[in-house]
Every structure is written in structure tokens, then in C-alpha cells.
Amino acid sequence: MAGHSQFKNIMHRKGRQDAARSKLFSKLSKEITVAAKVGGPDVDSNPRLRLAVQNAKAQSMPKDNIQRAINKSQTGDGDNYDEIRYEGYGPGGVAVIVEALTDNRNRSASNVRSYFTKCGGSMGETGSVAFMFDRVGEIVYKPEAGDAEAVLEAAIEAGADDVQSDEDGHAITCSFEDLGDVSKALEETLGEAETINAVWKPQTLTPIDADKAQTMLKLLALLDDDDDVQNVYANYDIDAETMASLTAA
């Protein structure tokens, strides 16, 4: 088991501010609909849907909204979403992976490309940066799940590969293939997780200075604000002092 690392700061999460709640629910609904359309509306027999519903519940999404999203997948009159992964380089050579669900490929590609360009980066071909990341499972628990030692012990027993614990909670990682089994085992000992996701974990980090960091955060904000974008991952390394000054500004 590795100790604390900077991985938890690398995935730029959605909807942390109350003002973004409606947008967050929209993105969660879209994932639920796609998961139900691909694997069926039964939560028990559809692992992807089960994770999508659990993540929605963790964000306090109303049950009616969740059921409506599932029902939409079965009506045949809803939008058809394509899953697309965009890759490119941001300021300072930072590698960026963007996951999107879209009903208009041309619109999404044009928008994402424009964000990279505005921030001095460039969008590349699929696979141009993915080799610098590992596809892994990430299971996040709130601090109330237990102290670091208890969570570490539970993670080892469940077959996880890594645990990072701090005052914000516990981030447990495992192989992508074992995500379902590990999350189930952890649920038996620690209870229901806050989020369970397949994520892109960078193999190495790219340090960037304050100027590049400011532009990098602008790129992440633009991507986050796009309705088609579901998740964003990047291998930037911004030191704590610089991050504090930028977020306080």
C-alpha cells in the first residue's frame, strides 16, 4: 500500500459549489440514462447502473430524478448519447483526458478544442496522452467511515491497491477489473461509499509554475462548465502555496 500522494487533487471533480448543483444533477442523470440503456434498467444486474445510482444518491439527488433518468432509457424517445474521450496537452505540457457524453459529436469536439486553444494548449488524437495514465477504480469514503488505520485494514482485506487518507476522507484505489468486487467487500465493512468510479490515474506528475497553474485552472473550469463533459483528469502538480493563492484570489 502506498501512502499519501497528490492523486486526490488531480481529478477535477464536478459540482463542488452549491451553484453548480443543477448542472451536476444533469450530468449524473445522463450517466444513469446511458448506463440503463446499455445494460438494462435493473440496478442489481447492471453494475454500471448500480454505481451511477449510488453516486447520484451520494450527491443527494432525489429518488424521483434517478427513477426518471432510468425510465428515460427505456422510452425510446430520449436522446442517444455517444461516449467520447478527448485527449490533449494543457499549459506547461500537462496531459489532459476529457470524458464526454454527447448527442452531437461535432459540437463537443469543437467546444473542447476551443477550450484547449484558449488556454494555450492543444487537443490531440485519441491515445496521445492516455498511455501516461492507468485506468483504475477509485472508491471514496467520508472521514466518518473510520480512522486511517481502520480504512487501510479494510482496504487490504478487500483487495485494494492503495489508500490515501486525510481530513477530507479516504480515497481507495484498486485495479479497474476488480472495482466491483472491491467496492462490495468494502461496503460490508465500511458501509456505502461516497463515490465509486473508474478513473484515469497519472503515472507521473508535471510540475507547473504559478502562471501556468492559473491558466490550467481556467482550462479545467471551462471543461467542467460544458454540459457534455462528464469527467476531466490531468497530471498537473501545483504546489500547495501556489494553489492556496490561486483559489483565494
pLDDT one-digit tens code per residue, 28-54: 999 999 999 988 999 889 988 988 998
State the pairing for strand pair 133-141/169-175: antiparallel
User: How far apart are alpha carbons 244 and 121 in whole angstroms?
Assistant: 24
Closest CA to 172 of 204, 131, 201: 201
CATH top-level class of 135-202: alpha beta
- Confidence bin at 244 (pLDDT 50/70/90): confident
In words, the CATH class of domain 18-75 is: mainly alpha
| pLDDT band (50, 70, 90) for residue 22 | confident
**pTM of the predicted model as reported, rounded to 2 decimal places:** 0.84
| 230 close to 27: Cβ distance less than 8 angstroms | yes
Mean of pLDDT values over 52-70? 90
Domain ranges across the chain? 18-75, 82-131+205-248, 135-202
- Residue 9: which pLDDT band, with cuts at 50, 70 and 90? very low
- Asked if the domains at 82-131+205-248 and 135-202 fall in one CATH topology, the answer is yes
pLDDT in tens, 99-155: 999 999 999 999 999 999 999 999 999 899 999 999 999 999 999 999 999 999 999
CATH of 82-131+205-248, picked from 2.20.130.10, 3.40.50.620, 3.40.50.10420, 3.30.70.980, is 3.30.70.980
User: Which residue bears the cell 462528464?
Assistant: 230
Q: Which pLDDT score, from 0 to 100, does residue 15 have?
A: 40
Beta bridge partners of 162: 2, 173
Q: What is the DSSP letter of 2?
A: B
